[in-house]
């Protein structure tokens, strides 16, 4: 664990707690993964929220001083139309996905098994990227749970597919530190009367109640990742960062412009998940998003001409290309 200004991390926390007028007991021995949260305190112990991420650990300094931080608010009026962006490609080797649904205490995460290997390519990506995690972020209220915003609008949730560059790096940890290391696909989620087929498998009552508390896990199989994506969609891409410590600026973000749906019952079930183990007081997992960061002078590119929406094609460029599936029809 790094040191800031010559102070050990416990000393930094004590000073921050005093600054905030905190009177709760401060535990001096926190594991590194417990040194940050989306809210400023957990169980009466001061744990740094987003404003302090970059101050308590020198290795997380980009959270405070980085210039390419995420998430951002996207104004489609600033998106540059790039007609040469190819469609996104998904490869699963023709197999169904399996893995572990996990309550991390911060997110609902789906961690795919080592096989089959799931890769994404195309779009702005110069290399093939391997899926490492599916992460679900959501809010306590509808319309306020996504990390990114689109035209000043938030969504009830955001699904993030986190991939690492398997052509240049051996694992996620190495890729997160290097150029062209990570690719994150983000899909927005609304509350509606129906549910996306893939999310329906993850969020049905029999499944979601198995991960009610922190560290709960449940194995799933026979998942078709192709069903997560809309039938037709455009995307917006920009260069940014991880939205949690250490906030490395090595991420190519790809935002899908057509939102998914889940039902109000499924959203309610998500909000009943606890960020704590059963022995501790209930605190909802909801509200697990980082505040918006300045876009500054970064370019936003898209495969859709938002200035002339009537020109949008419904052909194969706007569909997910899946290895082993039938080629999409042209329009």
Positions annotated as catalytic residues are: 169
Separation between Cα atoms, residue 20 and residue 40, nearest integer Å: 10
Separation between Cα atoms, residue 121 and residue 321, nearest integer Å: 10
Separation between Cα atoms, residue 106 and residue 117, nearest integer Å: 25
Element (H, E) at 179: none
Both tokens of 227, joined, read 């069903």
Vertex 254, ends 229 and 252: CA angle to 5°?
140
Give residue for tokens 């969609």: 233
Both tokens of 49, joined, read 């929220």
Q: Single out the residue of 68, 80, 67 nearest to residue 237, CA to CA.
A: 80
Is the CB of residue 185 less than 8 Å from the CB of residue 178?
A: no
Q: Single out the residue of 201, 184, 204, 173 nearest to residue 131, CA to CA.
A: 184
Both tokens of 40, joined, read 């400023």
Both tokens of 42, joined, read 């957990």
Separation between Cα atoms, residue 92 and residue 223, nearest integer Å: 11
Give residue for tokens 């051996």: 170
């Amino acid at each position: 664990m790094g040191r800031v200004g010559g102070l050990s991390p416990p000393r930094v926390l004590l000073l921050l707690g005093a600054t905030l007028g905190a009177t709760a007991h401060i535990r001096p021995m926190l594991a590194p993964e417990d040194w940050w949260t989306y809210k400023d305190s957990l169980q009466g112990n001061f744990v740094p929220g987003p404003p302090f991420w970059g101050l308590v650990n020198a290795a997380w300094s980009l959270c405070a001083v980085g210039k390419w931080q995420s998430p951002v608010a996207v104004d489609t009026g600033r998106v540059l139309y790039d007609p040469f962006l190819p469609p996104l490609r998904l490869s699963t080797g023709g197999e169904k996905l399996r893995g572990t649904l996990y309550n991390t205490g911060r997110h609902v995460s789906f961690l795919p098994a080592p096989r089959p290997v799931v890769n994404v390519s195309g779009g702005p990506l110069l290399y093939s990227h391997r899926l490492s995690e599916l992460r679900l972020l959501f809010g306590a209220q509808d319309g306020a749970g996504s990390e990114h915003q689109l035209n000043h609008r938030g969504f009830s949730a955001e699904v993030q597919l986190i991939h690492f560059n398997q052509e240049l790096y051996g694992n996620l940890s190495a890729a997160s530190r290097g150029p062209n290391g990570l690719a994150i696909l983000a899909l927005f989620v609304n509350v509606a009367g129906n549910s996306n087929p893939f999310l329906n498998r993850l969020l049905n009552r029999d499944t979601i109640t198995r991960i009610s508390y922190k560290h709960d896990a449940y194995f799933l199989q026979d998942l078709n990742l192709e069903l997560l994506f809309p039938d037709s969609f455009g995307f917006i891409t920009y260069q940014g960062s991880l939205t949690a410590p250490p906030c490395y600026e090595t991420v190519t973000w790809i935002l899908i412009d057509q939102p998914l749906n889940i039902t109000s019952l499924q959203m309610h079930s998500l909000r009943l998940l606890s960020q704590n183990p059963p022995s501790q007081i209930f605190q909802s997992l909801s509200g697990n998003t980082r505040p918006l960061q300045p876009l500054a002078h970064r370019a936003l590119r898209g495969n859709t001409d938002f200035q002339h929406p009537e020109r949008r094609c419904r052909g194969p460029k706007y569909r997910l290309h899946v290895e082993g599936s039938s080629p999409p029809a042209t329009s």
